[in-house]
Structure 1
Amino acid sequence: MRNIVRTNIVLGVRSYVYPIYLLVALAYGLMLLAFPKRYLPTMVPLFLLFEPGLVGFMFVGTEIFAEKKDGAIGALAVTPIDWRSYILAKTLLLSLLSVIGAVLIMAMGTRSLNGLPYVVVGTFLVSIVYTLLGIAVSAKYRDLDDYFIPILGVMVVSLLPFAHYHGYLTGEVWKVLYAVPSYPVIYFFKAPFEEIAAGTLVYSAAALLAWSGIAYQLAKIRFYRYAVEGLR
Protein backbone atom coordinates (compact mmCIF):
# COMPACT_ATOMS: atom_id res chain seq x y z
CA MET A 1 0.00 0.00 0.00
CA ARG A 2 2.86 2.36 0.87
CA ASN A 3 4.53 1.72 -2.48
CA ILE A 4 1.27 2.30 -4.37
CA VAL A 5 0.72 5.60 -2.56
CA ARG A 6 4.29 6.70 -3.30
CA THR A 7 3.92 5.76 -6.98
CA ASN A 8 0.61 7.62 -7.25
CA ILE A 9 2.18 10.74 -5.77
CA VAL A 10 5.03 10.61 -8.29
CA LEU A 11 2.65 10.04 -11.22
CA GLY A 12 0.24 12.71 -10.00
CA VAL A 13 3.01 15.30 -9.77
CA ARG A 14 4.68 14.35 -13.07
CA SER A 15 1.37 14.49 -14.94
CA TYR A 16 0.60 17.85 -13.24
CA VAL A 17 -2.76 16.51 -12.00
CA TYR A 18 -2.06 17.24 -8.33
CA PRO A 19 -0.47 20.68 -8.87
CA ILE A 20 -3.34 21.72 -11.15
CA TYR A 21 -5.83 20.43 -8.56
CA LEU A 22 -4.31 22.72 -5.93
CA LEU A 23 -4.15 25.62 -8.40
CA VAL A 24 -7.89 25.22 -8.99
CA ALA A 25 -8.46 25.50 -5.22
CA LEU A 26 -6.20 28.56 -5.13
CA ALA A 27 -8.19 30.10 -7.99
CA TYR A 28 -11.45 29.49 -6.11
CA GLY A 29 -10.03 31.20 -3.03
CA LEU A 30 -8.97 34.22 -5.10
CA MET A 31 -12.38 34.39 -6.78
CA LEU A 32 -14.07 34.52 -3.37
CA LEU A 33 -12.12 37.67 -2.56
CA ALA A 34 -14.22 39.48 -5.17
CA PHE A 35 -17.48 38.81 -3.27
CA PRO A 36 -18.75 41.09 -0.48
CA LYS A 37 -18.62 39.45 2.95
CA ARG A 38 -22.41 39.02 3.14
CA TYR A 39 -22.31 36.62 0.18
CA LEU A 40 -19.66 34.33 1.63
CA PRO A 41 -22.11 32.06 3.58
CA THR A 42 -23.61 31.13 0.21
CA MET A 43 -20.62 31.19 -2.10
CA VAL A 44 -18.02 29.44 0.09
CA PRO A 45 -20.08 26.22 0.47
CA LEU A 46 -20.73 26.25 -3.29
CA PHE A 47 -17.03 26.56 -4.10
CA LEU A 48 -16.18 23.89 -1.53
CA LEU A 49 -18.65 21.56 -3.19
CA PHE A 50 -17.05 22.16 -6.58
CA GLU A 51 -13.50 21.59 -5.36
CA PRO A 52 -13.61 18.21 -3.56
CA GLY A 53 -16.61 16.78 -5.33
CA LEU A 54 -17.00 17.81 -8.92
CA VAL A 55 -13.40 18.67 -9.71
CA GLY A 56 -12.25 15.49 -7.96
CA PHE A 57 -14.70 13.43 -10.00
CA MET A 58 -13.18 14.83 -13.18
CA PHE A 59 -9.51 14.61 -12.13
CA VAL A 60 -9.62 10.98 -11.01
CA GLY A 61 -10.96 10.08 -14.45
CA THR A 62 -8.10 12.00 -16.06
CA GLU A 63 -5.60 10.07 -13.95
CA ILE A 64 -7.12 6.73 -14.89
CA PHE A 65 -7.12 7.57 -18.61
CA ALA A 66 -3.43 8.50 -18.45
CA GLU A 67 -2.55 5.31 -16.58
CA LYS A 68 -4.54 3.20 -19.03
CA LYS A 69 -2.54 4.62 -21.94
CA ASP A 70 0.73 4.06 -20.07
CA GLY A 71 -0.25 0.43 -19.40
CA ALA A 72 0.00 0.90 -15.64
CA ILE A 73 -3.54 -0.32 -14.99
CA GLY A 74 -3.27 -3.23 -17.39
CA ALA A 75 -0.23 -4.40 -15.42
CA LEU A 76 -2.45 -4.94 -12.38
CA ALA A 77 -3.83 -8.08 -14.03
CA VAL A 78 -0.41 -9.76 -14.22
CA THR A 79 1.36 -8.44 -11.12
CA PRO A 80 0.97 -9.34 -7.43
CA ILE A 81 -0.24 -5.80 -6.71
CA ASP A 82 -3.74 -5.82 -5.21
CA TRP A 83 -5.92 -3.66 -7.46
CA ARG A 84 -8.22 -2.97 -4.49
CA SER A 85 -5.25 -1.32 -2.77
CA TYR A 86 -4.79 0.74 -5.94
CA ILE A 87 -8.38 2.04 -5.62
CA LEU A 88 -8.00 2.80 -1.91
CA ALA A 89 -4.63 4.51 -2.38
CA LYS A 90 -5.94 6.77 -5.13
CA THR A 91 -9.06 7.59 -3.08
CA LEU A 92 -7.00 8.41 0.01
CA LEU A 93 -4.59 10.66 -1.88
CA LEU A 94 -7.29 12.64 -3.68
CA SER A 95 -9.30 12.98 -0.47
CA LEU A 96 -6.30 14.38 1.41
CA LEU A 97 -5.56 16.65 -1.54
CA SER A 98 -9.16 17.86 -1.40
CA VAL A 99 -8.77 18.70 2.29
CA ILE A 100 -5.69 20.81 1.49
CA GLY A 101 -7.66 22.54 -1.27
CA ALA A 102 -10.59 23.19 1.06
CA VAL A 103 -8.28 24.75 3.64
CA LEU A 104 -6.86 27.03 0.92
CA ILE A 105 -10.36 28.09 -0.12
CA MET A 106 -11.42 28.81 3.47
CA ALA A 107 -8.23 30.62 4.41
CA MET A 108 -8.15 32.82 1.32
CA GLY A 109 -11.86 33.24 0.70
CA THR A 110 -12.95 34.06 4.26
CA ARG A 111 -9.64 35.31 5.72
CA SER A 112 -10.54 33.09 8.68
CA LEU A 113 -10.36 29.45 9.75
CA ASN A 114 -13.44 29.54 11.99
CA GLY A 115 -15.41 26.33 11.60
CA LEU A 116 -12.55 24.66 9.72
CA PRO A 117 -13.03 21.24 11.44
CA TYR A 118 -16.53 21.00 9.92
CA VAL A 119 -15.15 21.79 6.48
CA VAL A 120 -12.30 19.29 6.82
CA VAL A 121 -14.60 16.44 7.89
CA GLY A 122 -17.19 17.22 5.21
CA THR A 123 -14.57 17.60 2.50
CA PHE A 124 -12.84 14.34 3.36
CA LEU A 125 -16.08 12.34 3.40
CA VAL A 126 -17.60 13.77 0.24
CA SER A 127 -14.30 13.51 -1.61
CA ILE A 128 -14.16 9.79 -0.83
CA VAL A 129 -17.64 9.38 -2.32
CA TYR A 130 -16.99 11.33 -5.51
CA THR A 131 -13.52 9.89 -6.08
CA LEU A 132 -14.88 6.34 -5.85
CA LEU A 133 -17.79 7.25 -8.12
CA GLY A 134 -15.31 8.80 -10.54
CA ILE A 135 -13.29 5.58 -10.56
CA ALA A 136 -16.44 3.52 -11.10
CA VAL A 137 -17.70 5.63 -13.99
CA SER A 138 -14.39 6.42 -15.74
CA ALA A 139 -13.21 2.79 -15.68
CA LYS A 140 -15.33 2.05 -18.75
CA TYR A 141 -14.04 4.94 -20.88
CA ARG A 142 -10.77 5.46 -22.74
CA ASP A 143 -10.50 9.25 -22.93
CA LEU A 144 -11.94 12.51 -21.62
CA ASP A 145 -14.20 13.01 -24.65
CA ASP A 146 -16.28 9.97 -23.70
CA TYR A 147 -16.17 10.96 -20.03
CA PHE A 148 -17.47 14.48 -20.70
CA ILE A 149 -21.19 13.59 -20.65
CA PRO A 150 -20.99 11.75 -17.29
CA ILE A 151 -19.12 14.75 -15.86
CA LEU A 152 -21.92 17.11 -16.94
CA GLY A 153 -24.56 14.74 -15.59
CA VAL A 154 -22.88 14.45 -12.19
CA MET A 155 -22.36 18.21 -12.05
CA VAL A 156 -26.02 19.01 -12.70
CA VAL A 157 -27.38 16.41 -10.28
CA SER A 158 -24.89 17.40 -7.56
CA LEU A 159 -25.81 21.10 -7.75
CA LEU A 160 -29.56 20.52 -7.50
CA PRO A 161 -29.40 19.85 -3.71
CA PHE A 162 -27.74 23.24 -3.27
CA ALA A 163 -30.65 24.90 -5.07
CA HIS A 164 -33.15 22.93 -2.94
CA TYR A 165 -31.37 23.87 0.30
CA HIS A 166 -31.72 27.57 -0.55
CA GLY A 167 -35.42 27.25 -1.38
CA TYR A 168 -35.37 27.38 -5.17
CA LEU A 169 -36.84 23.89 -5.66
CA THR A 170 -39.84 23.70 -3.34
CA GLY A 171 -42.09 20.90 -4.64
CA GLU A 172 -42.51 17.63 -2.74
CA VAL A 173 -40.93 15.76 -5.62
CA TRP A 174 -37.60 17.51 -4.96
CA LYS A 175 -37.25 15.76 -1.60
CA VAL A 176 -35.68 12.95 -3.61
CA LEU A 177 -32.57 15.15 -3.67
CA TYR A 178 -31.88 14.19 -0.05
CA ALA A 179 -30.54 10.94 -1.50
CA VAL A 180 -27.86 12.75 -3.54
CA PRO A 181 -24.46 12.61 -1.75
CA SER A 182 -23.85 16.31 -2.22
CA TYR A 183 -26.84 17.16 0.03
CA PRO A 184 -25.53 15.99 3.43
CA VAL A 185 -22.18 17.70 2.94
CA ILE A 186 -23.91 21.06 2.55
CA TYR A 187 -24.60 21.03 6.31
CA PHE A 188 -20.87 20.64 7.03
CA PHE A 189 -20.01 23.48 4.68
CA LYS A 190 -22.71 25.76 6.13
CA ALA A 191 -21.75 25.04 9.75
CA PRO A 192 -19.01 27.75 9.88
CA PHE A 193 -21.62 30.37 8.95
CA GLU A 194 -24.82 29.27 10.69
CA GLU A 195 -25.97 27.09 13.56
CA ILE A 196 -26.35 23.47 12.46
CA ALA A 197 -27.69 20.95 14.97
CA ALA A 198 -25.23 18.26 16.08
CA GLY A 199 -27.78 15.58 15.22
CA THR A 200 -28.01 16.87 11.67
CA LEU A 201 -24.25 16.64 11.28
CA VAL A 202 -24.22 13.10 12.67
CA TYR A 203 -26.93 12.00 10.22
CA SER A 204 -25.07 13.73 7.40
CA ALA A 205 -21.83 11.93 8.25
CA ALA A 206 -23.70 8.61 8.41
CA ALA A 207 -25.23 9.28 4.98
CA LEU A 208 -21.83 10.05 3.47
CA LEU A 209 -20.32 6.93 5.02
CA ALA A 210 -23.17 4.86 3.57
CA TRP A 211 -22.55 6.43 0.18
CA SER A 212 -18.84 5.66 0.53
CA GLY A 213 -19.66 1.98 0.98
CA ILE A 214 -21.94 1.98 -2.06
CA ALA A 215 -19.43 3.89 -4.19
CA TYR A 216 -16.61 1.52 -3.16
CA GLN A 217 -18.59 -1.53 -4.23
CA LEU A 218 -19.36 0.11 -7.59
CA ALA A 219 -15.73 1.14 -8.07
CA LYS A 220 -14.45 -2.32 -7.14
CA ILE A 221 -16.77 -4.13 -9.56
CA ARG A 222 -16.50 -1.75 -12.52
CA PHE A 223 -12.78 -1.06 -12.19
CA TYR A 224 -11.91 -4.75 -12.24
CA ARG A 225 -14.27 -5.50 -15.10
CA TYR A 226 -13.47 -2.61 -17.43
CA ALA A 227 -9.97 -1.48 -16.43
CA VAL A 228 -8.15 -4.53 -15.11
CA GLU A 229 -9.77 -7.19 -17.31
CA GLY A 230 -10.28 -4.73 -20.18
CA LEU A 231 -13.90 -5.71 -20.95
CA ARG A 232 -16.20 -3.29 -22.79
Structure 2
Amino acid sequence: MIGRLVRTNLIIGVRSYVYPIYILIALAYGLMLLAFPEQYLPTMVPIFLIIEPSLVGFMFVGTEIFAEKKDGAIGALAVTPIEWRSYILAKTFLLSILSIVGAVLIMAIGTRSLSGIPYVVIGTFFVSIVYTLLGIGISARYRDLDDYFVPMLGVMIVSLLPFVHYHGYLTHEVWKILYVIPSYPALHFFKAPFEEISRNTLTWSASGLVIWAVVAYYIARIRFYKYAVEGVR
Protein backbone atom coordinates (compact mmCIF):
# COMPACT_ATOMS: atom_id res chain seq x y z
CA MET A 1 0.00 0.00 0.00
CA ILE A 2 2.72 2.49 0.98
CA GLY A 3 4.76 1.61 -2.12
CA ARG A 4 1.75 2.29 -4.36
CA LEU A 5 1.13 5.62 -2.61
CA VAL A 6 4.79 6.60 -3.02
CA ARG A 7 4.62 5.93 -6.76
CA THR A 8 1.36 7.86 -7.07
CA ASN A 9 2.74 10.82 -5.13
CA LEU A 10 5.88 10.77 -7.26
CA ILE A 11 3.90 10.84 -10.50
CA ILE A 12 1.65 13.66 -9.25
CA GLY A 13 4.62 15.62 -7.91
CA VAL A 14 6.50 15.36 -11.21
CA ARG A 15 3.47 16.23 -13.32
CA SER A 16 2.69 19.26 -11.16
CA TYR A 17 6.37 20.33 -11.35
CA VAL A 18 6.62 20.42 -7.53
CA TYR A 19 9.43 17.87 -7.32
CA PRO A 20 11.39 19.16 -10.35
CA ILE A 21 11.26 22.65 -8.80
CA TYR A 22 12.53 21.17 -5.53
CA ILE A 23 15.53 19.65 -7.33
CA LEU A 24 16.13 22.90 -9.25
CA ILE A 25 16.27 24.78 -5.95
CA ALA A 26 18.97 22.36 -4.75
CA LEU A 27 20.90 22.93 -7.99
CA ALA A 28 20.57 26.69 -7.50
CA TYR A 29 21.90 26.43 -3.95
CA GLY A 30 24.86 24.40 -5.14
CA LEU A 31 25.65 26.96 -7.84
CA MET A 32 25.30 29.81 -5.34
CA LEU A 33 27.92 28.16 -3.13
CA LEU A 34 30.40 28.31 -6.01
CA ALA A 35 30.45 32.08 -5.54
CA PHE A 36 31.91 31.75 -2.03
CA PRO A 37 35.65 31.40 -1.36
CA GLU A 38 36.61 27.94 -0.12
CA GLN A 39 37.26 29.13 3.43
CA TYR A 40 33.59 30.13 3.78
CA LEU A 41 32.20 26.76 2.73
CA PRO A 42 32.32 25.18 6.25
CA THR A 43 29.96 27.96 7.34
CA MET A 44 27.74 28.35 4.29
CA VAL A 45 27.23 24.72 3.23
CA PRO A 46 25.56 23.66 6.52
CA ILE A 47 23.12 26.56 6.43
CA PHE A 48 22.13 25.72 2.85
CA LEU A 49 21.72 22.09 3.88
CA ILE A 50 19.45 23.12 6.74
CA ILE A 51 17.34 25.27 4.46
CA GLU A 52 17.01 22.71 1.65
CA PRO A 53 15.91 19.44 3.28
CA SER A 54 14.09 20.89 6.24
CA LEU A 55 12.68 24.36 5.63
CA VAL A 56 12.04 24.07 1.90
CA GLY A 57 10.52 20.63 2.50
CA PHE A 58 8.33 22.09 5.24
CA MET A 59 6.98 24.62 2.75
CA PHE A 60 6.56 22.17 -0.15
CA VAL A 61 4.64 19.57 1.83
CA GLY A 62 2.19 22.29 2.88
CA THR A 63 1.74 23.26 -0.76
CA GLU A 64 1.00 19.63 -1.63
CA ILE A 65 -1.54 19.31 1.17
CA PHE A 66 -3.39 22.43 0.00
CA ALA A 67 -3.49 21.22 -3.61
CA GLU A 68 -4.79 17.79 -2.61
CA LYS A 69 -7.41 19.35 -0.35
CA LYS A 70 -8.75 21.39 -3.26
CA ASP A 71 -8.74 18.33 -5.54
CA GLY A 72 -10.69 16.36 -2.95
CA ALA A 73 -7.96 13.70 -2.73
CA ILE A 74 -7.54 14.06 1.04
CA GLY A 75 -11.26 14.16 1.76
CA ALA A 76 -11.60 10.88 -0.13
CA LEU A 77 -9.37 9.19 2.49
CA ALA A 78 -12.35 9.16 4.85
CA VAL A 79 -14.42 6.97 2.50
CA THR A 80 -11.79 4.85 0.72
CA PRO A 81 -9.90 1.74 1.90
CA ILE A 82 -6.63 3.70 1.75
CA GLU A 83 -5.18 4.03 5.24
CA TRP A 84 -4.55 7.72 5.91
CA ARG A 85 -1.58 6.84 8.10
CA SER A 86 -0.03 5.17 5.05
CA TYR A 87 -0.64 8.42 3.15
CA ILE A 88 1.38 10.34 5.75
CA LEU A 89 4.23 7.81 5.79
CA ALA A 90 4.38 7.59 1.98
CA LYS A 91 4.62 11.37 1.60
CA THR A 92 7.23 11.59 4.35
CA PHE A 93 9.36 8.83 2.82
CA LEU A 94 9.24 10.34 -0.67
CA LEU A 95 10.16 13.84 0.47
CA SER A 96 12.99 12.43 2.58
CA ILE A 97 14.47 10.71 -0.48
CA LEU A 98 14.10 13.90 -2.52
CA SER A 99 15.80 15.82 0.29
CA ILE A 100 18.75 13.43 0.21
CA VAL A 101 19.05 13.92 -3.56
CA GLY A 102 18.96 17.68 -3.05
CA ALA A 103 21.55 17.57 -0.26
CA VAL A 104 23.92 15.43 -2.36
CA LEU A 105 23.58 17.91 -5.25
CA ILE A 106 24.38 20.83 -2.94
CA MET A 107 27.48 19.06 -1.62
CA ALA A 108 28.66 17.79 -5.00
CA ILE A 109 28.24 21.12 -6.79
CA GLY A 110 28.94 23.53 -3.96
CA THR A 111 32.08 21.85 -2.60
CA ARG A 112 33.10 19.88 -5.73
CA SER A 113 33.54 16.93 -3.39
CA LEU A 114 31.51 14.22 -1.67
CA SER A 115 33.82 13.96 1.31
CA GLY A 116 31.78 13.34 4.44
CA ILE A 117 28.61 12.67 2.44
CA PRO A 118 27.43 9.83 4.78
CA TYR A 119 27.04 12.39 7.58
CA VAL A 120 25.06 14.67 5.29
CA VAL A 121 22.80 11.84 4.10
CA ILE A 122 22.04 10.67 7.66
CA GLY A 123 21.38 14.19 8.94
CA THR A 124 19.25 15.04 5.91
CA PHE A 125 17.16 11.88 6.19
CA PHE A 126 16.30 12.43 9.85
CA VAL A 127 15.72 16.18 9.74
CA SER A 128 13.62 15.87 6.58
CA ILE A 129 11.37 13.32 8.28
CA VAL A 130 10.90 15.66 11.24
CA TYR A 131 10.08 18.77 9.22
CA THR A 132 7.91 16.94 6.69
CA LEU A 133 5.79 15.49 9.49
CA LEU A 134 5.61 18.87 11.21
CA GLY A 135 4.64 20.43 7.89
CA ILE A 136 1.84 17.88 7.43
CA GLY A 137 0.58 18.43 10.96
CA ILE A 138 0.68 22.22 10.89
CA SER A 139 -0.57 22.76 7.34
CA ALA A 140 -3.51 20.36 7.81
CA ARG A 141 -5.49 23.10 9.55
CA TYR A 142 -5.10 25.70 6.80
CA ARG A 143 -6.76 26.04 3.41
CA ASP A 144 -4.09 27.81 1.37
CA LEU A 145 -0.54 29.16 1.41
CA ASP A 146 -1.65 32.64 2.54
CA ASP A 147 -2.96 31.22 5.83
CA TYR A 148 0.07 28.96 6.18
CA PHE A 149 2.57 31.78 5.61
CA VAL A 150 2.79 33.08 9.20
CA PRO A 151 3.37 29.70 10.91
CA MET A 152 5.74 28.74 8.08
CA LEU A 153 7.75 31.94 8.58
CA GLY A 154 7.82 31.36 12.34
CA VAL A 155 9.16 27.83 11.96
CA MET A 156 11.83 29.01 9.52
CA ILE A 157 13.07 31.77 11.82
CA VAL A 158 13.16 29.54 14.90
CA SER A 159 14.90 26.76 12.94
CA LEU A 160 17.71 29.07 11.83
CA LEU A 161 18.45 30.33 15.36
CA PRO A 162 20.57 27.25 16.26
CA PHE A 163 22.94 28.19 13.43
CA VAL A 164 23.41 31.63 15.00
CA HIS A 165 23.97 30.08 18.45
CA TYR A 166 26.39 27.46 17.12
CA HIS A 167 28.65 30.23 15.81
CA GLY A 168 28.70 32.08 19.12
CA TYR A 169 26.36 35.01 18.47
CA LEU A 170 23.79 34.06 21.13
CA THR A 171 25.89 33.44 24.21
CA HIS A 172 23.49 33.89 27.13
CA GLU A 173 22.61 30.74 29.08
CA VAL A 174 18.96 31.10 28.15
CA TRP A 175 19.81 30.32 24.52
CA LYS A 176 20.71 26.75 25.44
CA ILE A 177 17.01 26.11 24.96
CA LEU A 178 17.83 26.10 21.24
CA TYR A 179 19.35 22.63 21.71
CA VAL A 180 15.83 21.19 21.59
CA ILE A 181 15.09 22.58 18.12
CA PRO A 182 15.52 19.75 15.56
CA SER A 183 17.74 21.82 13.27
CA TYR A 184 20.41 21.93 16.02
CA PRO A 185 21.27 18.20 16.07
CA ALA A 186 21.05 18.18 12.27
CA LEU A 187 23.64 20.95 12.19
CA HIS A 188 26.18 18.63 13.82
CA PHE A 189 25.84 16.18 10.93
CA PHE A 190 26.15 18.98 8.37
CA LYS A 191 29.28 20.35 10.06
CA ALA A 192 30.92 16.90 10.32
CA PRO A 193 32.40 16.96 6.76
CA PHE A 194 34.28 20.16 7.65
CA GLU A 195 35.31 19.78 11.29
CA GLU A 196 35.82 17.08 13.91
CA ILE A 197 32.50 16.16 15.54
CA SER A 198 32.74 13.47 18.22
CA ARG A 199 30.92 10.19 17.77
CA ASN A 200 29.18 10.79 21.09
CA THR A 201 27.80 14.13 19.83
CA LEU A 202 26.57 12.53 16.61
CA THR A 203 24.94 9.69 18.55
CA TRP A 204 23.08 12.11 20.81
CA SER A 205 22.14 14.20 17.79
CA ALA A 206 20.69 11.17 15.99
CA SER A 207 18.80 10.18 19.14
CA GLY A 208 17.36 13.68 19.43
CA LEU A 209 16.19 13.61 15.82
CA VAL A 210 14.59 10.18 16.28
CA ILE A 211 12.69 11.47 19.33
CA TRP A 212 11.60 14.51 17.33
CA ALA A 213 10.46 12.24 14.49
CA VAL A 214 8.25 10.26 16.86
CA VAL A 215 6.78 13.44 18.36
CA ALA A 216 6.25 14.96 14.89
CA TYR A 217 4.53 11.79 13.68
CA TYR A 218 2.00 11.94 16.50
CA ILE A 219 1.40 15.63 15.82
CA ALA A 220 0.89 14.90 12.12
CA ARG A 221 -1.34 11.89 12.78
CA ILE A 222 -3.66 13.72 15.19
CA ARG A 223 -3.90 17.03 13.35
CA PHE A 224 -4.07 15.57 9.84
CA TYR A 225 -6.97 13.30 10.71
CA LYS A 226 -8.81 16.03 12.63
CA TYR A 227 -8.41 18.92 10.20
CA ALA A 228 -7.77 17.31 6.81
CA VAL A 229 -9.60 13.97 6.82
CA GLU A 230 -12.53 14.86 9.09
CA GLY A 231 -12.52 18.48 7.97
CA VAL A 232 -12.85 20.07 11.42
CA ARG A 233 -12.34 23.83 11.30
Q: Residues 183-230 of structure 1, C-alpha deviation per residue, up to 9 Å, x if partnerless? A: 001100000000000000000000000000000000000000000000
How far did 1:14 drift?
Answer: 1.2
Structure 2 residue aligned with 1:137: 138
Structure 2 residue aligned with 1:215: 216
How far did 1:15 drift?
Answer: 1.2
How far did 1:2 drift?
Answer: 1.7
Which letter maps to 2:159? S
Supply the distance in 2 between the matched residues of 1:153 and 1:13 (Cα, whole angstroms): 29
Structure 1 residue aligned with 2:13: 12
How far did 1:43 drift?
Answer: 0.1
| Matched ranges for 1:22-41 at <5 A | 22-41=23-42
| Matched ranges for 1:79-228 at <5 A | 79-228=80-229
Supply the distance in 2 between the matched residues of 1:189 and 1:3 (Cα, whole angstroms): 32
Structure 1 residue aligned with 2:76: 75
Structure 1 residue aligned with 2:51: 50
SS of the counterpart of 2:231? coil
Aligned-pair RMSD on alpha carbons? 0.4
Unpaired runs of 5+ residues, structure 1, are: none
Which letter maps to 1:127? S
* TM-score, length-scaled by structure 1: 1.00
Structure 2 residue aligned with 1:3: 4
Q: Residues 97-153 of structure 1, C-alpha deviation per residue, up to 9 Å, x if partnerless? A: 000000000000000000000000000000000000000000000000000001110
Structure 2 residue aligned with 1:66: 67
Supply the distance in 2 between the matched residues of 1:68 and 1:14 (Cα, whole angstroms): 17
* TM-score, length-scaled by structure 2: 0.99
Q: Residues 144-191 of structure 1, C-alpha deviation per residue, up to 9 Å, x if partnerless? A: 000000111001100000000000000000000001000001100000
How far did 1:96 drift?
Answer: 0.3
Q: How many residues align?
A: 232
Which letter maps to 2:232? L
Unpaired runs of 5+ residues, structure 2, are: none
Runs of 4+ with deviation above 4 angstroms? none
Q: Residues 72-101 of structure 1, C-alpha deviation per residue, up to 9 Å, x if partnerless? A: 000000000000000000000000000000
Which letter maps to 2:73? A
Supply the distance in 1 between the matched residues of 2:124 and 2:153 (Cα, whole angstroms): 21
Supply the distance in 2 between the matched residues of 1:161 and 1:219 (Cα, whole angstroms): 24
